[in-house]
Amino acid sequence: MPSFISRIAVGLSLASSACAAGAPGHSSVARPAGPEPVDYTVAFPDLSAHSATITARFPTSGKPTVDLMMAVWSPGYYKVENYADRVHDVAARSPSGAPLNVVHDARNHWRISTGGAAGVMVSYRVTADQRSVTTDWVGDSLIVLNGAPTFMAISNDAHRPAIVHLELPRGWRSATSLDTVRDAPSDSYRAADYDDAVDSPIIAGDNLRIDSFVVGGSRHAVVDAGSIDGWDSARAARDIARFVAEDRRFWGTLPYDHYVFLNVFRRGGGGLEHRNSTLLTSSAAAYSTPAGYVRWLDFVSHEYFHAMNVKRLRPVELGPFDYEAGPKTPSLWISEGLTTYYGDLMVVRSGLAPDSAFLSAMSALIGQLQMPPGRLVQTLSASSLDAWNSENSGVGMDQANTVSYYTKGTVAGFLLDARIRRLTGDRRSLDDVMRAAYALYSGARGFTPEQFQAVASRIAGSDLSAWFHRVLDTVDELDYSEALAWYGLRFADASTDGARRWRLEIRSDATPAQRAHLAALFAP
């Protein structure tokens, strides 16, 4: 049995630079008692074929058959993706090499006859030619592996740990938030359980660029991969460290030992949050203009804020996960909308963008909400519950009949914050609501809508249930007047119909008190 260490698992060079930056030294921990791990070896015999071969040893616990399954979705990405459809050539054998019977008895299930062996070896190949943040990519200079499309698991056995060995081309390095395995070949990692394996993407390449920093005793790595020519990695890591420090001030602590930003420059798009990492798809637009760079910081800040809001503080429905049937929740406006609101605010509060950048971004969102008619058809809660059935932002969205919980959720956060600040004379804000909710609902159990609303009412010192009902559960127009009056803002040109109609600007006759309220919103 190998033993394990808890150091950050992004290759030797990072581990040494993290130590040089003053991180705590490595500590050895014995392998915890508990179920015997599944042992996966992932190989890439032909990079240009865009596939990976997986060989795994599954303990059988002495049973005559083992039921293996592939997830159908990935937490954070509310789409059925049926990863089993990209699995091929499933075969099983005993430890002595004798072939074992495999029955593909459901779209994402395989039943293996064990012949009484203590463990069975199962091999399969996965197609890895997709560039989304939930799928796998294997190419000539880059590999992106996500847990759900890569790892078969024993059904109803979520607490079993996993060991993952990567057989990479010579000279390549890998990066992930998983712990490394001591006394094992390089690129060997340990997942505490299946959730951890699914929640910890792995990237590898021949040109990974790794910067690290420490905030509040927690180690962070920014790993750039893909088409990184022209990208200023050191500057990006410095700027990320600034909003991470701002997030730490906001929450009072950072709830992890280490965190990894996996920043992949490639075609495609999007980012996905994980407990101890995020997988980002970035493009040249991030460095072609100053505004593009601020948008990139907002994007990374959003994914990072999720480490606290949704990966820990979460709606009650979002965990523990059923990987064969995704959950529905009415609360994605909190998990996504408020994450966008604070993602942008953290960038401004840490001095990386001017106040005007926040007002511009909020203006754009208000325009996106107010111009199409979908807001008059679908409520915010219904939008969240409908996440599995419809696009919630972007080109595929049915703007005539649906509303985005990202867009309306962010705008609702802006209005709720203003309301709490006004009700309390700026002594309390939505920040306090988030911290209070975190203290109550970031553990084993998440919050119900009623519980989150009760926290907000308590902080506001006023019953907000009528406000929540109107904003979440009716299609009534949002009322901007309170926020505009509190901050001394107005819409630039109420006489026109286009986006300009919804452009927020500071009133020239704003009072000193109003200016102070706005300054308080942006203050660290």
Whose Cβ is closer to Zn ion: residue 127's or residue 263's? 263
In which order are the strands placed within the sheet that holds 258-265? Answer: 209-215, 218-226, 258-265, 277-282, 271-273
Window 270-309: residues binding Zn ion (CB under 5 A): none
Q: Please give the distance of CA 203 from its chain centroid, rounded to a whole number.
A: 15
Asked whether the beta carbons of 174 and 166 are under 8 A apart, the reply is: yes
- Helix H or strand E encompassing 259: strand 258-265
Whose Cβ is closer to Zn ion: residue 179's or residue 336's? 336
Window 65-104: residues binding Zn ion (CB under 5 A): none
- 499 is written with which tokens? 């986006």
Whose Cβ is closer to Zn ion: residue 68's or residue 361's? 361
β strands within 140-194, DSSP E: 142-145, 153-154, 162-167, 173-175, 179-180, 188-191
Q: What's the closest the beta carbon of residue 300 comes to Zn ion, in angstroms?
A: 11
Whose Cβ is closer to Zn ion: residue 135's or residue 457's? 135
DSSP SS3 for 435? helix
C-alpha to C-alpha distance for 128 and 51, rounded to whole angstroms: 5
Q: What's the closest the beta carbon of residue 361 comes to Zn ion, in angstroms?
A: 15
Q: What's the closest the beta carbon of residue 25 comes to Zn ion, in angstroms?
A: 35
- 273 is written with which tokens? 């949050």
Whose Cβ is closer to Zn ion: residue 187's or residue 336's? 336
Q: What's the closest the beta carbon of residue 269 comes to Zn ion, in angstroms?
A: 13
Window 157-216: residues binding Zn ion (CB under 5 A): none
Q: What's the closest the beta carbon of residue 66 comes to Zn ion, in angstroms?
A: 36
- Using CB atoms, what's the residue nearest to Zn ion? 336
Window 26-45: residues binding Zn ion (CB under 5 A): none
Q: What's the closest the beta carbon of residue 302 comes to Zn ion, in angstroms?
A: 6
Q: What's the closest the beta carbon of residue 337 comes to Zn ion, in angstroms?
A: 9
Q: What's the closest the beta carbon of residue 339 comes to Zn ion, in angstroms?
A: 5
C-alpha to C-alpha distance for 443 and 45, rounded to whole angstroms: 42
Instruction: Give the count of residues interacting with Zn ion (CB under 5 A).
Output: 1
Burial of residue 41, with CB atoms counted within 10 A of its CB: 0-12 exposed, 13-18 middle, 19 or more buried: middle
Q: Please give the distance of CA 353 from its chain centroid, rounded to a whole number.
A: 23
Q: What's the closest the beta carbon of residue 306 comes to Zn ion, in angstroms?
A: 5
Asked whether the beta carbons of 72 and 93 are under 8 A apart, the reply is: no
C-alpha to C-alpha distance for 429 and 337, rounded to whole angstroms: 16
Q: What's the closest the beta carbon of residue 76 comes to Zn ion, in angstroms?
A: 7
Whose Cβ is closer to Zn ion: residue 151's or residue 405's? 405
Q: What's the closest the beta carbon of residue 303 comes to Zn ion, in angstroms?
A: 6
Whose Cβ is closer to Zn ion: residue 225's or residue 310's? 310
Whose Cβ is closer to Zn ion: residue 403's or residue 459's? 403
β strands within 302-442, DSSP E: none
- 5 is written with which tokens? 């260490």
Q: What is the 8-class DSSP label of residue 276?
A: S
CA distances from 92 to 58, 81, 155, 162, 214 (A): 10, 25, 17, 18, 45
Only one of the segments 177-185, 328-336, 444-452, 480-488 lies at the binding site for Zn ion (rule: CB under 5 A); that segment is 328-336
Window 329-358: residues binding Zn ion (CB under 5 A): 336
- Helix H or strand E encompassing 110: strand 109-113
Whose Cβ is closer to Zn ion: residue 9's or residue 307's? 307
Whose Cβ is closer to Zn ion: residue 224's or residue 336's? 336
Helices assigned H by DSSP within 188-231: 194-198
Asked whether the beta carbons of 308 and 251 are under 8 A apart, the reply is: yes
C-alpha to C-alpha distance for 14 and 371, rounded to whole angstroms: 48
Whose Cβ is closer to Zn ion: residue 57's or residue 302's? 302
- Residue 18's identity, in one-letter code, is A
Query: Which residues pair with residue 113 across a beta bridge?
Result: 65
What length does the chain have? 524
- 125 is written with which tokens? 């190949």
Q: What are phi and psi of 112, to 5 degrees?
A: -105, 125
Whose Cβ is closer to Zn ion: residue 81's or residue 336's? 336
CA angle 199/244/421 to nearest 5° reads 105
Q: What's the closest the beta carbon of residue 334 comes to Zn ion, in angstroms?
A: 11
- For binding to Zn ion (CB under 5 A), which residues are involved? 336
